[in-house]
Amino acid sequence: MKGSQAIIKSLTDEGVDVVFGYPGGVLLPLYDVIYDSDLRHILVRHEQCAAHAADGYARASGEVGVCIGTSGPGATNLVTGIANAYMDSSPIVALAGQVATPLIGNDAFQEVDTIGITMPITKHSYQVMAPSEIPEMIKSSFYIARSGRPGPVVVDLPKDVQEGELEYSAKIKIELPGYKPTKKGHPRQVERAAKTIMNAKKPVILAGGGVIIADASKELEKLSKLVGAPVTTTLMGKGSFPEDNPLALGMLGMHGRKVSNLVVDECDCLIAIGCRFSDRTTGDVTKFAPQAKIIHIDVDPAEIGKNVDIDIPIVGDAKIILSHLLKTIKQTKTSLISDWTDYVKSFRAGCMPRLSFKDVPLKPQQVIKEISEAITDDTIVTTDVGQNQMWMAHYFTRKNPRTFISSGGLGTMGFGFPAAMGAKVALPEQDVVAVCGDGGFLMVSQDLATVKEYDIPVIVCVMDNRYLGMVAQWQRLFYDERISHTHLGAVPDFVKLAKSFEINAYKVERPGEMKETLIDALKSGEPALIDVIIDPEELLPMVPPGCGLTEIVGEYKVERESPDEIPYRPSAQEKGGD
Ligand SMILES: Cc1ncc(C[n+]2csc(CCOP(=O)(O)OP(=O)(O)O)c2C)c(N)n1
């Protein structure tokens, strides 16, 4: 068969039934095969949206998402989405067209060095130089993208390789010397961790996105219950632990919940699972969890000790390691439920943020409260980047994994809407709502055409403050309120913009309107945009860059109980355990 046919066959053999793409000259052979294949191709209106949609598809479903872009500008337009997937460990395969092999290196029309550009932001990249390499390279790409710590893989496809002939054999053996992700944690390390947890008086769990990727939420809940440890999460870990559990503290870090930041400051044992201790999570690392022994469970050995010194590293799959840890702790038969748990629960109850406001323009807290009332626990919510994202991370609560999708590591404005599109394509039975800022949404608004043409009923809520809100917030707090180039002005009218794409659109301005409008929009079964006019002056409390987690500025005063007031918790040994 032809190389282009082998590409499609390899994709369908991997179980791919949908791709997000945008064609071009060097992709003509591939698109000619797509024309009458069973593969569903969604023509986005910008390649960046193809990559984000593939990423949203992957995060919602746990399956590899696929995007396609042509050589040169098509490939460079994919780059932001690839980097975004890389930073957040999301499994996507990006197929990029390339000029014909004899032209590579000639600065041919629409030639860029896609492999060179994407090498630092991919888990792996392949340039296919002969048609016969296609089946193995595509199979390997999917294996690499989804195994170990997931991530993006680029496959660079020269035009003549797509046109050439090969013998396709269904029996493909992949050989990846040196790539053997560790799954089981080292038993001695697991034992050491179990002992440390048993001896801790004030344990806390920090759950990252790795818990969701490893499908380890049940094990996480069991561990929290067994040892009485409260759970805080990173942005990526939101949804890994039900936030209605009295031991759920919410997000940690720069824009985290006060209770999380103070409890991590006080804990004597931090069990970090599937997280990478980003600066947004830790604040000043020299002040991070100063009293704690830190246990770090992660599938990627490169993360151990990268940002924070670790006392007990355990490399492997979070689900497998947590099961092992649970078994080891249970064998000691010591009750670990402690006064610390009660203390944290009451501290948490005293720190719950206020969400009800009657103000006009609307307070984002009120909007988020109404969004929460309009949706179910299964609704997938994506966010964009900026204040809208941090408000959602801070005030909005989630119970289930894979229901909160946000751009964590790269912080990519323009992610929320196309990611929602991808999530909806992956899971059409689930409601999908994107919460975006006005600046970020405008970066990708052309893809309203895509959701219209393909009837992808996502609801976009534009938090319309006419500012690049998060940057303006920093200008207000740290640059003497000198609002330099962050005011967006009066255009566009988002309702008119949506209507020009024949998308249903609503404006929300008063308390009570958001809930009703969102319920109606979801019921309609059609894509919709809700333009939510919010207070442009609203600030979220935060830890200034370079400060420790307790140095919160903004709305809250830091009122810390003295550590002496924390009830004493006898160690396992003192209780007669081992
Ligand atoms: C592509 C990109 N460009 C610039 C930034 C820097 N940045 C971070 S937040 C932000 C403001 C976002 O404004 P908006 O989308 O209106 O959301 P808001 O903060 O008002 O909720 C900017 C410019 C970014 N994160 N991504």
**pLDDT, tens digit (0-9, with 9 covering 90-100), for 339-373:** 899 999 999 998 888 999 999 999 999 999 999 99
110 is catalytic: yes
Buried b (16+ CB within 10 A) or exposed e, 363-399: bbbbbbbbbbebbeeebbbbbbbbbbbbbbbbbbbbb
Contact 411 CB / ligand 1 (< 6 Å): yes
Please report the pLDDT score of residue 540 as a whole number: 86
Dihedral sign, Cα of residue 415, residue 421, residue 424, residue 425: negative
Quote helix, strand, coil % in the chain, to nearest 5.
40, 15, 45
Q: Is 417 touching ligand 1 by the criterion CB < 6 Å?
A: no
Percent of the chain with pLDDT over 70: 95
What pLDDT is attached to residue 327?
Answer: 96
Q: Which atom of ligand 1 is nearest to the CA of 470?
A: 19
Check whether 477 has a pLDDT greater than 70: yes
Q: What is the pLDDT of residue 553?
A: 85
State the maximum Cα–Cα separation within the chain, in Å, rounded to a whole number: 75
Kindly report, residue by residue over 210-249, the tens digit of the pLDDT: 999 999 999 999 999 999 999 999 999 999 999 999 999 9
Going from the C-alpha of 277 to that of each of 86, 147, 206, 282, 419, the distances in angstroms are 16, 22, 10, 6, 24
d(CA 450, ligand 1 centre) in Å: 23
Q: Which of 368, 413, 444 to mutate to test the pocket of ligand 1 (most atoms within 8 A of CB)?
A: 413
Please give the pLDDT value at position 334.
Answer: 58
State the closest ligand 1 atom to the C-alpha of 388, by its place in the atom list counted from 1.
21
Concerning whether 266 is annotated as a catalytic residue, the answer is no
Task: Report which secondary-structure segment, H or E, holds 393.
Answer: helix 387-395
Average pLDDT over residues 514-525: 98
Quick: pLDDT tens for 97-113. Answer: 999 999 999 999 999 99
Contact assessment for residue 93 and residue 99, using Cβ atoms and an 8 Å cutoff: no
Q: Are 126 and 155 in contact (CB under 8 A)?
A: yes
The residue among 304, 344, 350 whose CA lies nearest residue 224 is 344
Confidence band for 171, pLDDT divided at 50, 70 and 90: confident
In the prediction, which pLDDT does 360 show?
A: 97
User: 464 CB under 6 A from ligand 1?
Assistant: no
* Mean pLDDT of all residues in 272-282: 97
> Mean pLDDT, the chain, as a whole number?
94
Residue 574 confidence (pLDDT): 34
Helix runs in 147-186, H state only: 159-163
Asked whether the predicted pLDDT for residue 25 surpasses 50, the reply is yes
Q: Which helix (H) or strand (E) holds 474?
A: helix 469-478
Determine the pLDDT at residue 335: 55
- Which atom of ligand 1 lies nearest, measured to the CA of 410? 25
DSSP bridge pairs for 153: 93, 124
The amino acid at residue 9 is K
- The answer to whether 508 touches 532, Cβ cutoff 8 Å, is yes
In terms of DSSP H, where are the helices of 36-72? Answer: 47-61
Mean pLDDT for the stretch of residues 365-391: 98
